[in-house]
Structures are given as C-alpha cells and as structure tokens.
Amino acid sequence: MGLAVVAAGAAALVTLALGPAGAAAGATPGTAGQAAAGTARPEARTFSNPVLGPGQDPSVVTYRGWYYFTQTSPQSNYITIRRARSIKSLAAAPKTVVWRGGTAGSPCCEWWAPELHFVDGAWYIYTTADNGNNNNHRLQVLRARDPLGPYTYKGQLTTPGNHWSIDPSPLQLPDGRLYLMWSGWPDDVNGVQNIYIARLASPWMITGPRTMLSTPTYPWELHSGSVPVKVNESPEPLLHGGRVFATYSGSGCWTPDYALGLLSAPVGANLMDAASWTKSAQPVFKSNPAAGIYGPASNGFFTSPDGRQTWTVFHAVNDPNGNCGLERDVYAQRVTWSANGFPQLGGEPVPITTPLRVPSGDPGAP
C-alpha cells in the first residue's frame, strides 16, 4: 500500500513515497525483472484467487520491484512480513517475524490488522494490540529504516479520549499534512464502532480532536446477527483526481453481509469537518453468492510494480453464513476509475475460476 493513500496513473495527486535513493516506491523493477517479464510464458502472467492464500486483514506494498505482504498472524501475538517479486509467489514467500508482542514494553496480545506504510523517509507498521483484554485494545506504532526491519516500538498512538481503537491507517496529502483514520468506540462501552479521523503531529502522535466520519446507519451496515454490536471498521484512504476516498468495512465480519462502503471528500476541503464527506448509501463491494465468496472486506490498496495500476487486497470466506475465524482467504483484484474519478472495485469478487492478469510490471512466475 505504500502509504495506502495514492492512486496509480497520470490522474494521481502524488506518486508513491520515495526511498533513500529517491526511487519511487513501486518503481519498475530492474533490468533482470524486465527481461523476465518479456520472456515469461503467457500463463505465468495470470493468477486465480485467493492468490495470497489463507489469512485475514491483508496489507500489501510495492517498493522497488518487490511486493511486501503483512496480515494478522494466526496467534495474533506477532507480526510477519513476506517479500516476493511477483504476486503469484508472495503467498509462498518466507515469513520474516518483525515483531513479537511484549517486546520493548509493548502489549502482549491480539496484534490485529498490521499495515505497512512508508512515511517521511521511514517505514511504519500501524496496528493494534491489548493486554489480553479486548476492552483495552489501543493503536500501536512500530518504526524501521527498512521494510523488513529491525523495528523499534514507538509506543501507543493514543486517540482523543483514549477509548477502544483498532484499524489505524494514515493519510498524507500532497502538501505533506498527515491524518489518521481508525475504527473506535464513542466512549468506553462496546456496542458501536465508528470511523474517526484526526490530525497527526508526527507519524506516531495525534494532535487535536477526533471527528466521526461514519457510524452504522444504512441497512447494509447493520447486520450483526445475534451479536448486539454495530460495526464500521477498517478505513482505507486513497487519493485520486482531486479527491480523498476511504473504503471501510460495514456489518459484522461474522455475517455474510460484511461489505465495503465508501467515503469521499474534495482534497482541498476541511477533512476534519464531517460535512465535507459524502457516504455511499449502498456497499461498493459485497458478497458474490453465485461464486461462493462471502464477506469480502477488511481491504487495503496497493499500486502495481510499475505504478500504473491501483489494486485492492481483501479477505473473504466461502461460508454462506459468514465467518470471522481462521477460515478466511486473501484475494487481490484490480481497481478501475469511473468517468467522474471514483474508484470501481468491481462490485463483488470475481469467481475463483476466473484468471486475472498480474499487475502491470509484475514479471509473473515461471
């Protein structure tokens, strides 16, 4: 996701962040990679989902011809990153453990939904953890000079009011201003999760108040079965064509109705004013029962290795009743753009029998 906020293509407001030598994150691979792309067999240039295998809460970044992939670990007490030249080989790439819960005074448990971002010359993992009690979930930040570490613990990223908070994702505007989006409780009682935004004074410190951008109100957001919790979570910002977009996940992840909504605002608007934002009345990405794919959400965005395309990664299940357990798989699908500049995620996941072309600049797999 680079900074997880930048759309590919000529209409993008900014390019992916620059590395230490000034190369664009997501730059075209070197000569060897280009040669491989020119000689790969046609079938090496396609893949079928779920391309990234079992898992949940995916985050993918392209940087200097490499893909980097992190997600919630099965035990939720450590964080791993995988690296590969092609999306087709990313699931099988070795895992590098970059953090273990309890290290350097960090919380022990439930390290959920890590996201990898390059901000102002350094790599950050934005995530959440607690002390073994879910009521104490708070945002956490790790920092490194290289995406594979070593990482240092920057501490808890305390939100205004210090309430239960998960799913942090940063947004950086072309003028350099930093914001943070996350999902949290309005107070200290479970029952509803809202989407919030606040300004960042630094990549690990919020300044000023929070603004609620979305609370579950539309019928599609209110599915929770027998669990008395209303859910908006996992905001994922994206910049394109003079607008700020943010997908978010609505309804309970334990239901087949778990889906993605969309928030949008002009890039020049006051993003701390909720009135600047428009919310989709219908989900923009939802289950595909005909294909047996349910609950496609908790997504992220990344650009193709050559920076020309925007892609999304998300998890989903094949359980028609929905499922929030370890039965989830990770899919990738290309994002296109409507005539008015809004992201088009495809409406639903394509069937797993449908071959998809690898992202542009991806050499494929032999």
Q: Residue 347, class by beta-carbon neighbours within 10 Å (0-12 exposed, 13-18 middle, 19+ buried)?
A: exposed
* Neighbour count for residue 46 (Cβ, 10 Å): 14
- Alpha carbons 286 and 293: distance in angstroms, whole number: 9
Can you give the residue ranges of every domain in the chain? Answer: 31-357
Q: CA-CA distances (angstroms) from residue 221 to 181, 252, 282, 328?
A: 18, 8, 9, 20
| Catalytic entry in 115, 130, 167, 233 | 233
Domain 31-357 sits in CATH at 2.115.10.20
DSSP state of 257: T
Amino acid at residue number 159: T
Cβ proximity of 182 and 166 under 8 Å: yes
* Residue corresponding to tokens 């499922």: 323
Cβ proximity of 165 and 174 under 8 Å: no
pLDDT of the residue at 115: 98
Note if the bond before 349 is cis, omega within 30 degrees.
no
- Alpha carbons 216 and 221: distance in angstroms, whole number: 5
pLDDT of the residue at 365: 77
pLDDT of the residue at 42: 67
- Alpha carbons 3 and 170: distance in angstroms, whole number: 7
pLDDT of the residue at 356: 97
pLDDT of the residue at 326: 85
* pLDDT single digits (tens) 323-332: 998 899 999 9
Token readout for 267 is 């890039």
Cβ proximity of 250 and 312 under 8 Å: no
* Residue corresponding to tokens 């778990």: 258
Q: What is the pTM of this model?
A: 0.90
pLDDT of the residue at 140: 98
* pLDDT single digits (tens) 268-283: 999 999 999 999 999 9
pLDDT of the residue at 41: 67
Let me know if 110 is a catalytic residue.
no
3 state SS of 345: coil
Note if the bond before 50 is cis, omega within 30 degrees.
yes
* Neighbour count for residue 275 (Cβ, 10 Å): 8
- Number of helices (H) and strands (E) in the chain: give both, helices first: 2, 22
Let me know if 57 is a catalytic residue.
yes
- Alpha carbons 92 and 64: distance in angstroms, whole number: 20
- The low-confidence residues of the chain, meaning pLDDT below 50, are 1-2, 4-5, 9-38
